[in-house]
Amino acid sequence: MLAYLVVSALITAPFSGVTVDNLLDRPMMVSDSVLELSAAEVSERASATLTELDGRPVAETQQDFELNMELELPAGRCLITVEAQATSVSNDSYWVSINGERLESPILPSIGIMSPRSTTADIPEAGRHTLTLSLREGPGSFISSVSVATVKTDIPHPPMRAELLQSRPRLLFTAADIEAMRARVADPRVQRFYTPASVRSTKPPAFQPGQRNGAAYRTLGNFALSHLLAPDEQQLASVLEWLEMAATFDTVGVDLDAAYFMEGLALTYDWLYDEIPSELRDRLREVMVRQCDLLYKASLAGATGGGRNFQQNHYWYAHLALALGAVALYGEEPAAEQWLAWAWDRYERIALSFSPDGSFHEGPSYWDFSMPTLYLYTDLYEWCTGLRIPDGDQGLAGQAQFRFHHLYPGLERSAALEDSPVTLGQPAPGLLLWEAKRFRDPATMGMAQLLASSPRSDRHSFLWLDESVPWEPVSEAVPLARYYVDVETAFARTSWDQDATYVAFVSRPLGGHRYAELCARYGIGGTGHNHPAQNHFVLFGRGAVLAGDPGYTYEKKTRNHNTVLVDGQGQYGDGERWPGPNPGRAHITRFATDGDVTIVTGDATSAYPPELGLTRFERTLVLAGRDLVVIYDQLAAAQPRTFSWLLQHWGQVSTEEERWSIVCEDARLTVAPLLPDGVVGLTGTHRPQYTHPTRDLTPENADVNELQLQVGPVMETVFLVPLMVADATASPDSAQDVSTDTCYAVRVGDVVVGFNRGEGMMTVPLPWGEEMDTEAVTVVARIVDGERHVVTAPSE
């Protein structure tokens, strides 16, 4: 079995000094205790019952819970900390009030694990004050302790390099760089990717209370950069018109909208600083100060987008917004120093908890959405501080290739894994340029070259381009198959040709191993865009999706995927809108690849709740060349269960002699189960839940066809299912069961795929009439163009 990654405590963040061993600590916050209440004292003062939880005393909140604390406090900031555990989303928040005035951000205890959660409050003047902790939702949460402390900010390092303090621009470049930047625009290598934007013709929208207002501003920096590179009075006039409207805005929340707004506003404010009238700058500064103050206070309370969930894209967006505003305002607003220091502190938590193998757990669509934010945040951190990110390059290197492996043959569409729409296409070339530049990687540059069909006018395509990086063809530089150990995802294709056959396979803990362990350790979350779909695969061949994934849904269901149900029930998180961390530790146990043959095995036993009694679910997927995929499942349970083997598709299905033919576009998939005996095939159509109270993601092909192969109730069984890929007009091949006493084996044409029944020697019949004795667990033997080929997956 391949060993998966565990959390390393060897890396110390250079700005904050934290490690993964104290990831929730706040060393910047120096506190002096004012009050500490035990669980017994809480239950004496408020409506709570003293009881025990996991061997420790706790106060269980009752319906009228309200804890009042009268304290002598100095003027300044105080920290209110509650060590608590919620049981569900129905009791996972408390209100805090100061002298009867409720704070905007609640305290949000973690669900299922006891951990401290805090918020801060500004005390305007010294004296006696009443602090009140009350229920925001229902009773039933458990409190271990409550404390109040005065707090001051101790900034460990200058958050801005001295040479940037008086510089305008200062965000990502300075005035000294502009002449060289303008010269680059004429370079044909740059023109391959970038062209300055035309004058913006759209008018700025007015602020609408209660609505999302920031999104329209996200691209404003593209036009500001274009003016800086190719000065144009009309472009400047348009940008200033947008800034005039921005100066009328109220705050835009503490989540995505704040990042959209600040991304456009802060970059433009800084880049065109000397060309913005001083009176307008003053008004814009007031808007950004209000926004940053709101973000900062919400972050201290863990109430920004993403909460304290370091690997959730909303967390990245909210704190990038704070960093952008603070850098733009530094030296003009006194509070900007602590805002910026806090933004760097938050960034380091992202870097320390990031997947270390060049992968990303939220799927390809959220990769496209999130990586621009992470890359910009990374650039700002290093540019402003002069520090190198902690432990980050290990995970940032290879991100582009991870995303590229999601592209189906033809490189137009992407596999809709996790929360990704089925219509998802290519990533923007500018995102690949960031990695090519940072690591001077010819392979990544080759991917960007291949996807850059025409130049773009976004700032990424210019600022993240290093035209001096050489490039290599994808067919030579990028492997056909790749396994990502942390997020336990494997990709394989038979070639880089358009008519290749492609598979992707997933078997993992939600969030990947590193983040799953941190979630369990600290009671954090952020896995809501992951699906309960372990041992799931997708298959693409002959230009069509043959075994698919319905993608982004608002009810994540195991039955929407190509895996197995147990008595009709799915895996941890089944049916949830945003699945949270869980004890499941599915993982890939074996990966072997050679040319157009790939063998991958996953163990998803632990992905199912224990009440289902599942004791084994190991799946081996074999890509045995362009025309054949074989699925081999070993299933067992403590009691007799009905096992349902699932395949989702958008084709027309027909049945003949216990095999099913699925025609989709110009392709045919023949499903010919050889085992188990007595399997019952069911076909039908269902529509996943694509609608949300505020959004409707229903795609054009919303109705998904399903083939179910059922057996049981039984205590154990084996599925041996060859999937034969062919042109729609071709006659399907036949599949033969050529199993022996020691192996399960299937033959299709000149290909034999064998699986070891036990742990010792197996005898595999070969397509050229001989037998092979081997201790391997899987064997693929083929005759290709008259040549004999054997690929094995060893037992260890």
Are 714 and 727 within 8 A, CB to CB? no
Query: Which domains can be identified in the chain, with CATH numbers?
Result: 29-153 (2.60.120.260), 162-411+419-473 (1.50.10.100), 481-730 (2.70.98.70), 735-796 (no CATH)
**Residue 84, strand partner residues:** 115, 143
Between 294-298, 400-404, 718-722, the lowest mean confidence (pLDDT) is in 294-298
b/e per residue, 505-524, with b = 16+ CB within 10 A? bbbbbbbbbbbbbbbbebbb
Q: Cα separation of 617 and 602, whole Å?
A: 8
In this structure, the number of other CB atoms found within 10 A of the CB of residue 213 comes to 22
Residue 177: CB atoms within 10 Å = 11
- Is the per-residue pLDDT at 452 higher than 80? yes
Q: Is the peptide bond before 676 cis (omega within 30 degrees of 0)?
A: yes
Sole residue written with tokens 């990687």: 441
Token couple for 231: 């000065």
Q: State yes or no: pLDDT of 1 exceeds 70.
A: no
**What CA–CA distance (Å, rounded) separates 186 from 196?**
11
SS (HEC) of 540-595: EECCEEEECCCCCCCCECHHHCCCEEECCECCCCCCECCCCCCCCCCEEEEEEEEC
Rounded mean pLDDT of 94-107?
92
Tell me: pLDDT of 759 over 90: no
The pLDDT of residue 674 is above 70? yes
Residue 9 has pLDDT above 60, yes or no: no
pLDDT at residue 10 tops 80: no
Mean pLDDT value across the chain: 95
Q: Provide the pLDDT confidence category of residue 3 given band limits of 50, 70 and 90.
A: very low
Question: Taking a C-beta distance cutoff of 8 angstroms, is the pair 587, 605 a contact?
Answer: no
Q: For the CA atoms of 154, 155, 156, 158, what is the dihedral angle to 10 degrees? A: -160
State whether residue 106 is helix, strand or coil.
coil
Q: How far apart are CA 175 and CA 189, in angstroms?
A: 23
State mean pLDDT over 600-618: 98
pLDDT value for 218: 97
Write the DSSP string, 116-153: EEEEEEEE-SSEEEEEEEEESS-S--EEEEEEEEEEEE
- pLDDT category at 2 given cuts 50, 70, 90 is very low
Average pLDDT over residues 741-764: 96
Handedness of CA 386, 435, 16, 131 (dihedral sign): positive
Residue of 577, 576, 566 lying closest to 607 (CA atoms): 566
Joined together, the tokens standing for residue 250 give 């109220």
Q: What is the pLDDT of residue 375?
A: 98
Residue 6: its pLDDT value, please?
Answer: 46
pLDDT tens digit sequence for 48-90: 999 999 999 999 999 999 999 999 999 988 999 999 999 988 8
Tokens of 251: 């705050």
Q: Secondary structure of the chain: what % helix, strand, coil (to 5)?
A: 25, 30, 45
| pLDDT score of 115 | 87
pLDDT digit string, tens, across residues 541-590? 999 999 999 999 999 999 999 999 999 999 999 999 999 999 999 999 99
**What mean pLDDT do residues 714-724 have?**
98
Alpha carbons 319 and 316: distance in angstroms, whole number: 6
Least Cα distance to 538 among 599, 629, 624 occurs for 629
Residue 197 · residue 226 · CB < 8 Å: yes
pLDDT (0 to 100) of residue 618: 99
Identify the pLDDT of residue 732.
Answer: 83
3-state secondary structure of 599: strand
* DSSP state for residue 163 in the 8-state scheme: G
pLDDT at 642 over 50: yes
Using alpha carbons, list the distances in angstroms from residue 307 to 192, 197, 518, 661. 40, 36, 15, 48
CA 470 centroid distance within chain: 30
Instruction: Calculate what percentage of the chain has a pLDDT beyond 90.
Output: 89
- Label residue 307 by pLDDT band (50, 70, 90): confident
Report yes or no: 654 and 646 within 8 Å, Cβ to Cβ. Answer: no
Q: In sequence order, which ranges of 14-121 are alpha helices (DSSP H)? A: 39-45
Q: What is the mean pLDDT of residues 81-103?
A: 92
Closest CA to 109 of 65, 55, 44: 65
Give this prediction's pTM: 0.94
Q: How many residues does the chain have?
A: 796
C-beta neighbour count of 639 within 10 angstroms: 10
Q: Are 738 and 751 in contact (CB under 8 A)?
A: no
Beta sheet of 736-737, edge-to-edge order: 736-737, 743-748, 751-756, 778-784, 787-793
CA distance 354 to 365: 18
Six-digit token pair at 365?
A: 């669509």
Q: Give the span between the Cα atoms of 396 and 598, in whole angstroms.
A: 26
Alpha-carbon distance of 516 to 525, in angstroms, equals 9
Q: What is the pLDDT of residues 268-302, one digit of tens each?
A: 999 999 999 999 999 999 999 999 999 999 998 88
* Confidence check: pLDDT of 8 > 70: no
The per-residue pLDDT for 135 is 96
Q: What are phi and psi of 113, to 5 degrees?
A: -150, 135
Mean pLDDT of all residues in 190-196: 98
Q: Give the helix ranges, DSSP H, for 141-219.
A: 175-184, 188-191
pLDDT digits (tens, 9 = 90+) for 125-176: 999 999 999 999 999 999 999 999 998 889 999 999 999 999 999 999 999 9
Give the helix/strand (H/E) hosting 706.
Answer: strand 704-727
Please, is 101 exposed, middle or buried when counting C-beta atoms within 10 Å of its C-beta (0-12, 13-18, 19+)? Answer: exposed
Half-sphere exposure of 410 (CA within 13 A, CB side): 14
Q: What is the DSSP letter of 657?
A: S
Give me the helices (H) in 335-363, please: 336-353
Residues 308-366: tens digit of each pLDDT: 899 999 999 999 999 999 999 999 999 999 999 999 999 999 999 999 999 999 999 99
Looking from the CA of 337 toward its CB, the CA atoms found within 13 Å total: 13
